[in-house]
Amino acid sequence: MSDEIRRLDPKTVERIAAGEVVERPASVVKELVENSLDADASRIAVSVENGGIDGVRVADDGSGMDEEAVRRAVEEHTTSKITDVEDLERGVHTLGFRGEALHAIGAVSRLSITTRPRGEARGTELVVEGGDVERSKPAGCPEGTTVEVADLFYNVPARRKYLKRPATEADHVQRVVTGYALANPDVAVSFEADGRERFATPGRGDRRSAVMAVYGREVASAMVPIEGDASALPDGPLENVSGLVSHPETTRASREYCSAFVNGRYVTASAVREAIVDAYGTQLAPDRYPFAVVFLDVDPATVDVNVHPRKLEVRFADEAGAREQVRAAVERALLDEGLIRSGAPRG
Ligand code: ADP
Ligand code: MG
């Protein structure tokens, strides 16, 4: 190592920065699915090859982009979702806003986007390789947008080596797609790995049919609704808690089947999971976890959305308050259905 301090070349800077946004195939899928949802898609089809390491494809029937828009979209810090920091203060209502994802993905893969705006006669195909636009040409394609990401980290070998086995990466992707499928029952979401369909939700709008498609009939029929009656909640930072939770006997050994969403955004909140488990008291066998899909509504102006794109963990300023609200809402759902006895000691 020499003591000389030098400026990194732009390509190196770009790849390092991209690694902050894109960690693994699941983070690519998360960004692309969020873009499809922001584009008002009613159908989103996700498929991966070799756990997404060789290929990720997300096709939607959303608003699409014209040629100029798609060229802009892959540049650095370009977004159609906010204009200035005041928009952030007012609270962001889209899942994305940082304008980083497509640029970052394009910097560390071979990226192709085919897109046609609704009502336009023709579409565009744009190909980016390692951050450079290789071509952009008119293309016949359905309305909406299809993004294909091949050879993730082909130009960042250190990063590629760090990826897990394809089966593990595919599971991570499935978890993300499952989360968005459950959070958006009005959108038909499908997931395919190496040509095999893992699930497809009908997009009919009801949560139970989405749960059935994702977890199967048996689990879906063992789930009871958390009624979204805000007035019955204890005081705390949450405006409402709703969703579905399973019968105390329908459990798994993994806590991964407890999913939480804050304003429709899939999060991992360990406090929320603990609160769900707490609500079952002693009815839950040790080291068993229920199926739960819990939606938390908070005032968008009170949560810091300016979080790092890769960070799924949310924190509430009043963590204890939020926790008690979730526990109380889940407990009430279970009590109403006679699935737990009141006064069960907390375990
Ligand atoms: P962000 O989502 O933070 O705005 P992205 O890099 O993910 O940044 O996307 C950049 C822009 O490209 C978006 O603001 C949007 O205008 C456009 N875009 C991306 N994906 C889609 C899509 N699937 N359908 C329509 N427009 C899209
Ligand atoms: Mg985005």
Contact 36, 61 (CB under 8 A): no
- Residue 307, pLDDT score: 57
Report whether residue 125 contacts ligand 1, using a CB cutoff of 6 Å: no
The segment with the largest mean pLDDT, out of 2-6, 32-36, 267-271, 315-319, is 32-36
Helix axes 25-38, 166-183, angle to 10 degrees: 20
**Share of residues in the chain with pLDDT > 90 (%):** 67
CA of 106 relative to ligand 1 center, distance in Å: 13
pLDDT, tens digit, 9 for 90 and up, residues 270-310: 889 999 999 999 999 999 999 999 999 988 766 665 555 55
Cα-flanking dihedrals φ and ψ of residue 211, to 5°? -65, -40
- Which ligand 1 atom sits closest to the C-alpha of 60? 23
Report residue 347's pLDDT band, with 50, 70 and 90 as the boundaries. very low
Report whether residue 65 contacts ligand 1, using a CB cutoff of 6 Å: yes
- Which ligand 1 atom sits closest to the C-alpha of 103? 6
pLDDT, tens digit, 9 for 90 and up, residues 331-343: 999 999 888 887 6
CA of 156 relative to ligand 1 center, distance in Å: 24
Report whether residue 97 contacts ligand 1, using a CB cutoff of 6 Å: yes
Q: How far apart are CA 100 and CA 103, in angstroms?
A: 6
Contact 24, 113 (CB under 8 A): no
Report residue 103's pLDDT band, with 50, 70 and 90 as the boundaries. very high
Does ipTM surpass 0.90 in this model?
Answer: yes
Residue nearest to atom 27 of ligand 1 (CA): 35
- Residue 310, pLDDT score: 56
Q: For the whole prediction, is pTM greater than 0.80? A: yes
Q: How far apart are CA 237 and CA 110, in angstroms?
A: 43
User: Beta strand 265-267 with 110-116: parallel, antiparallel or unpaired?
Assistant: unpaired
- Which ligand gives the minimal distance to the CA of 118? 1
pLDDT, tens digit, 9 for 90 and up, residues 134-158: 999 999 999 999 999 999 999 999 8
pLDDT, tens digit, 9 for 90 and up, residues 43-53: 999 999 999 99
CA of 204 relative to ligand 2 center, distance in Å: 25
Closest CA to 272 of 209, 330, 193, 341: 330
Residue nearest to atom 20 of ligand 1 (CA): 35
Mean pLDDT of 110-122: 96
Least confident of 80-89, 111-120, 283-292: 80-89
CA of 37 relative to ligand 2 center, distance in Å: 9
Stronger pLDDT, 259 or 36, i.e. the higher one:
36
Which among 79, 149, 308 is the best mutation to test ligand 1's pocket, defined by most ligand atoms within 8 Å of the CB?
79
Closest CA to 301 of 86, 82, 90, 85: 90
CA of 212 relative to ligand 2 center, distance in Å: 28
Report whether residue 101 contacts ligand 1, using a CB cutoff of 6 Å: yes
Report whether residue 62 contacts ligand 1, using a CB cutoff of 6 Å: yes
The SS3 of residue 287 is coil
CA of 237 relative to ligand 2 center, distance in Å: 27
- Residue 309, pLDDT score: 55
- Residue 20, pLDDT score: 81
- Residue 229, pLDDT score: 80
Report residue 268's pLDDT band, with 50, 70 and 90 as the boundaries. confident
Report residue 261's pLDDT band, with 50, 70 and 90 as the boundaries. confident
Mean pLDDT of 201-211: 94
- Which ligand gives the minimal distance to the CA of 97? 1
**Share of residues in the chain with pLDDT > 70 (%):** 94
CA of 306 relative to ligand 1 center, distance in Å: 17
CA of 93 relative to ligand 2 center, distance in Å: 13
Mean pLDDT of 206-211: 92
Q: In this structure, how many other beta carbons lie within 10 angstroms of the beta carbon of residue 125?
A: 19
- Residue 1, pLDDT score: 64
- Residue 337, pLDDT score: 87
Mean pLDDT of 229-245: 90
- Which ligand gives the minimal distance to the CA of 77? 1
- The CA-based angle 276-266-103, given to 5 degrees, is 160
Compute the mean pLDDT over every residue in the chain, rounded to the nearest whole number.
90
Report residue 171's pLDDT band, with 50, 70 and 90 as the boundaries. very high
